């Protein structure tokens, strides 16, 4: 199945690139005109007055000279897009379950076949992060503000935790769907709904509901990607000395351990599956 | 050594007994047709044989060893319904198989794809049922397997391609491969198989070489103007092994002196009386039928 995993990963990354490219294109078309409409300032290049989108780009460039752009912000954007991509990959095992008569009658063990699919997904998610970063950098490069980028320690923290969140969500959905022959898309959709709702309930007070409910919500939310994502975004504003502090390390450990447990469950379920 | 050895295989799904104490061995260089009505346990037997499902009890061995991933280096399987990946092309499947098997024979794959008129660029999802079966067959035969397990291998194929599949099976066995295949087309089994195993309700009810099973037995078939009469006298005749009555048709399975039995049957004034060679279909129906219309006489064999 390795060959099909490679083909599948290639197709997924192609679609992802097209989606991000489309968003970038829309942004490049609309943003300069939006900037133009907010300014009466005239712009000249080599003594000649320019208008339209070019004027907008120059205005943005001029505005950008007064600010610093933390690289960690771009990393967070890339990580968020990568996490969305990872959820799309998370039903890959289930989607192959219609083909088990084909897959499980090859000279490859079920464990190896499953881990090959998961391993390919893991690398594809890293590639999605990289592509996301390229697309986050692209508009800054286009308006000539790359020199305004400031590289910080938080960037690494955001990327590592972002990848952990992506793997965590991926692992949870794989564990829930790896043995399903259909309906995995519904489980994936439900995971979004459940995680959003549980995040909303995070601040529910014990004054209104029984403490045990609060405890259940808080316990569940330790593996809620949206809660861990908050930690990721908060990392951007943390001082360098506190970036890799205990809260960060704890969330990082939870993310990667949850991912590993999810993968282990998925492999076990596939090994025991009756076809 | 048997290439395939199934010993006392039993498979239960809850209270339902799908396969009941089945023992079956198939030698290298031979073709065994697995027959049975729908729900007889053929597909479950295949699943247990291929380790796709765990037997409730009993053992399965291929080339003397339990089935493991390495078994599939030389065992090819074609399932009854397509398990190919619909979003990928015929060529993708060939490439995936080439990368998986050291024994993949690209020239043979191309030759087989041409035989079945397959377009390597076409996606599986765009193919007909028969074409999908053909792709699965190409992938199976292209690795030159020593053991072939084929579940309805000619399903959905036109008569020309069906003949090609049977030729492939016969050719593989002639080259030393062991072939176990199921089919509802008795004619296909009769043409390709050396032996048959008949399942009914999960139990093996008949096993043997086709030539041995046919023996010297003949069928005396009489067609009457109205419902066939009960052939009193012939029912206890030692020459007659079995009597079947279906509407206006009366069939007598005769061990010897078919001409004499036909002569005696003529006294019941049928419209026609014919002496026919015993076919595999007759053997199969005799083994699985418990329909009163088909077996009004008891099998005294």
**Per-residue pLDDT reduced to its tens digit, A95-108:** 989 899 999 999 99
Backbone angles phi, psi at B215, to 5 degrees: 50, -140
Q: Do A4 and B85 touch (CB under 8 A)?
A: yes
Q: Is B16 exposed, middle or buried (0-12, 13-18, 19+ CB in 10 A)?
A: exposed
Residue A230 confidence class, pLDDT cut points 50, 70, 90: confident
Residue A148 confidence class, pLDDT cut points 50, 70, 90: confident
Buried b (16+ CB within 10 A) or exposed e, B186-205: bebbbbbbbbbbbbbbbebb
Residue of higher predicted confidence among A174 and A39: A174
Closest CA to A194 of A242, A226, A162: A226
Mean pLDDT of A51-69: 77
Q: Do B72 and A102 touch (CB under 8 A)?
A: no
Mean pLDDT of B121-129: 95
In chain A, which residues have their Cβ closer than 8 Å to the Cβ of B75? Answer: 105
| Enclosing H/E stretch for B57 | strand B57-62
Best mutation target among A11, A98, A105 (most B Cβ atoms within 10 Å) is: A105
Q: Is the pLDDT of residue A52 over 90?
A: no
Residue A142 near residue A61, CB atoms below 8 Å: no
Looking at residue B231, its pLDDT comes to 82
* Distance from C-alpha of A259 to C-alpha of A167, rounded to nearest angstrom: 5
Q: How far is CA B230 from CA B246, B256, B281, in A?
A: 11, 21, 23
Best mutation target among B54, B96, B149 (most A Cβ atoms within 10 Å) is: B96
Residue A35 confidence class, pLDDT cut points 50, 70, 90: low
Looking at residue A37, its pLDDT comes to 66
Residue B301 confidence class, pLDDT cut points 50, 70, 90: very low
Interface check for A1 against chain B (CB to CB < 8 A): the answer is: yes
- Of A4, A96, A107, Cβ closest to residue B70: A107
Q: Do A3 and B84 touch (CB under 8 A)?
A: no
Closest CA to B13 of B54, B65, B73: B54
Neighbours of A112 (CB within 10 A): 15
* Distance from C-alpha of B102 to C-alpha of A84, rounded to nearest angstrom: 39
Measure A105 CA to nearest chain B CA, in Å: 6
Neighbours of A264 (CB within 10 A): 12
Q: Is the pLDDT of residue A59 over 90?
A: no
Listed in sequence order, the residues at least 6 apart from A111 whose beta carbon sits closer than 8 Å to its beta carbon are A267, A270, A271
Residues in chain A: 275
pLDDT digits (tens, 9 = 90+) for A117-145: 999 999 999 999 999 999 999 999 988 88
Best mutation target among A1, A92, A97, A101 (most B Cβ atoms within 10 Å) is: A101
pLDDT digits (tens, 9 = 90+) for B150-170: 999 988 899 999 999 999 999
Looking at residue A260, its pLDDT comes to 98
* Distance from C-alpha of B51 to C-alpha of B30, rounded to nearest angstrom: 22
pLDDT digits (tens, 9 = 90+) for B61-90: 999 999 999 999 999 999 988 899 999 999
Q: Do A101 and B85 touch (CB under 8 A)?
A: no
Mean pLDDT of chain B: 91
* Distance from C-alpha of A73 to C-alpha of A145, rounded to nearest angstrom: 14
Q: Do A100 and B95 touch (CB under 8 A)?
A: no
In chain B, which residues have their Cβ closer than 8 Å to the Cβ of A106? Answer: 69, 72, 100
Measure A219 CA to nearest chain B CA, in Å: 37
Mean pLDDT of A175-186: 92
Looking at residue B289, its pLDDT comes to 75
pLDDT digits (tens, 9 = 90+) for B228-279: 988 877 888 889 988 888 899 998 989 889 999 999 999 889 999 999 988 8
Residue A127 near residue A16, CB atoms below 8 Å: no
Mean pLDDT of A197-207: 86
Residue B296 confidence class, pLDDT cut points 50, 70, 90: very low
Q: Is the pLDDT of residue B300 over 60?
A: no
What token pair was written down for A176? 């829930």
Q: Is the pLDDT of residue A6 over 90?
A: yes
Backbone angles phi, psi at B91, to 5 degrees: -60, -40
Looking at residue A92, its pLDDT comes to 95
What token pair was written down for A226? 């949206």
Looking at residue B290, its pLDDT comes to 62
**Strand, coil or helix: B199:** strand
Neighbours of A37 (CB within 10 A): 9
In chain A, which residues have their Cβ closer than 8 Å to the Cβ of B54? Answer: 274
- A2: nearest CA in chain B? B96
What proportion of chain B, given as a percentage, has pLDDT over 90?
Answer: 75
Looking at residue B277, its pLDDT comes to 87
- A105: nearest CA in chain B? B72
Q: Is the pLDDT of residue B294 over 50?
A: no
Enter the ipTM.
0.84
Looking at residue A69, its pLDDT comes to 87
Measure B191 CA to nearest chain A CA, in Å: 27
Looking at residue B85, its pLDDT comes to 95
In chain B, which residues have their Cβ closer than 8 Å to the Cβ of A101? Answer: 52, 77, 79, 81, 83
Interface check for A100 against chain B (CB to CB < 8 A): the answer is: yes
- B148: nearest CA in chain A? A105
Q: Is the pLDDT of residue A57 over 80?
A: no
Place of tokens 């919500």: A217
Q: Do B75 and A105 touch (CB under 8 A)?
A: yes
């Amino acid at each position: 199945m390795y060959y099909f995993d490679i083909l599948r990963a290639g197709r997924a990354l192609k679609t992802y690139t097209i989606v991000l490219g489309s968003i970038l294109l829309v942004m490049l078309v609309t943003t300069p005109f939006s900037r133009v409409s907010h300014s009466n300032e005239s712009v000249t290049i080599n003594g000649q007055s320019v208008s339209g989108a070019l004027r907008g780009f120059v205005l943005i460039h001029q505005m950008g000279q007064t600010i610093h752009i933390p690289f960690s912000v771009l990393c967070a954007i890339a990580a968020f897009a990568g996490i969305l991509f990872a959820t799309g990959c998370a039903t890959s095992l289930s989607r192959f379950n219609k083909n088990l008569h084909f897959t499980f009658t090859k000279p490859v063990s079920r464990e190896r076949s499953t881990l090959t699919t998961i391993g390919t997904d893991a690398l594809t998610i890293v590639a999605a992060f990289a592509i996301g970063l390229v697309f986050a950098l692209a508009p800054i490069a286009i308006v000539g503000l790359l020199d305004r980028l400031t590289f910080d320690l938080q960037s690494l923290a955001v990327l590592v935790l972002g990848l952990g969140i992506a793997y965590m969500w991926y692992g949870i959905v794989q564990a829930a769907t790896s043995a399903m022959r259909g309906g995995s898309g519904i489980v994936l959709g439900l995971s979004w709904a459940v995680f959003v709702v549980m995040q909303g309930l995070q601040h529910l007070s014990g004054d209104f509901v029984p403490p045990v409910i609060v405890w259940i919500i808080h316990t569940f939310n330790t593996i809620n990607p949206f809660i861990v994502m908050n930690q990721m975004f908060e990392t951007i504003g943390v001082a360098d000395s506190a970036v890799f502090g205990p809260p960060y390390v704890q969330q990082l450990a939870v993310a990667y351990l949850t991912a590993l447990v999810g993968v282990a469950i998925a492999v076990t379920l596939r090994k025991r599956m009756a076809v | 050594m048997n290439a395939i050895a199934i010993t006392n295989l039993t498979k239960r799904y809850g209270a339902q007994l799908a396969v009941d104490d089945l023992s079956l061995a198939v030698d290298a260089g031979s073709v065994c047709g697995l027959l049975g009505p729908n729900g007889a346990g053929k597909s479950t037997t295949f699943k247990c044989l291929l380790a796709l499902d765990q037997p409730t009890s009993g053992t399965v061995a291929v080339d003397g060893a339990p089935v493991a991933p390495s078994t599939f280096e030389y065992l090819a399987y074609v399932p009854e319904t397509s398990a190919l990946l619909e979003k990928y092309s015929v060529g993708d499947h060939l490439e995936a198989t080439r990368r998986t098997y050291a024994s993949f024979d690209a020239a043979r794959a191309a030759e087989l794809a041409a035989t079945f008129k397959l377009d390597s660029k076409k996606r599986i999802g765009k193919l007909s049922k028969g074409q999908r079966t053909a792709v699965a067959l190409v992938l199976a035969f292209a690795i030159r397997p020593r053991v072939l397990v084929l579940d309805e291998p000619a399903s959905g194929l036109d008569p020309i391609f069906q003949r090609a599949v049977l030729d492939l099976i016969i050719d593989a066995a002639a080259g030393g491969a062991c072939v176990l295949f199921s089919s509802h087309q008795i004619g296909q089994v009769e043409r390709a198989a050396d032996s048959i195993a008949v399942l009914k309700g999960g139990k093996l009810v008949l096993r043997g070489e086709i030539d041995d099973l046919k023996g010297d037995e003949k069928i005396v078939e009489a067609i009457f103007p109205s419902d066939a009469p009960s052939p009193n006298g012939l029912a206890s005749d030692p020459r007659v092994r079995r009597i079947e009555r279906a509407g206006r048709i009366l069939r007598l399975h005769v061990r010897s002196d078919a001409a004499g039995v036909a002569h005696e049957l003529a006294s019941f004034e049928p419209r026609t009386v014919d002496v026919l060679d015993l076919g595999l279909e007759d053997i199969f129906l005799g083994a699985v039928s418990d329909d009163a219309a088909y077996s009004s006489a008891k099998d005294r064999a």
